[in-house]
Structure 1
Amino acid sequence: MNALREKFPALPNVARYLTSRPVRRGFLWDSFDAGIAAALIGDPDMARDHFKRVLREDALAPWIVDAQEKTREVHTIAADHDAVTAWVTRAVDSCRSELDLDPVVLAIS
């Protein structure tokens, strides 16, 4: 864990890494994660570019349809940092709750 914290000390480092990865068709979570990171650092144009890649994937399974619905939600608010931060916070809280984990305070800036 410490090695990752050293490699990615702040959100812009994470965003730079995620948005620089090559696009791989069929790996929609790569583009989704890159879009979220770009939106969180205040680059809505880059975020929307990555979200559009997710939306271009063929909806071959229910989980892809769900992923694309989430993508549409965040694509719409990509330029509103506070709204994106709130969306991410709710998503993390929901996942942690489903896993029966304690809530955490996110360090999103």
Structure 2
Amino acid sequence: MPSKVLAEILFAVLSTSITLAAVFLLVIFMEGFVGKLFQEFGIVLATAVLISAFVSLTLTPILNAYINRKVIRKKLSSGLLQSHFSKTWKQATTLSWQFRIKK
């Protein structure tokens, strides 16, 4: 199952990033005064989109797994996860009750 989810996310991120980079790279080929102004803009944005795609597919999942492993271990050992869930549940039910009241 994780490989299927990874494939779907990978396809969505790559297709979006490649499309954005291609659109911004086409700005380089504009002629005239406007083309000269936007040439650097197109290069910088296309590069930023490609770097962002690389980070979102490599560094973000690794850091998420590393951070969550420590947090979950700590919360489960101290019992804070249950208290946090009950506190959040109380807040959600209180908010839904307040929104149902008509003035």
TM-score higher than 0.5: no
Looking at secondary structure, tell me which structure has more helix per residue.
2
- Shorter chain as denominator, the TM-score bin is under 0.3
Q: TM-score, normalised by structure 2?
A: 0.25
**Larger-Rg structure:** 2
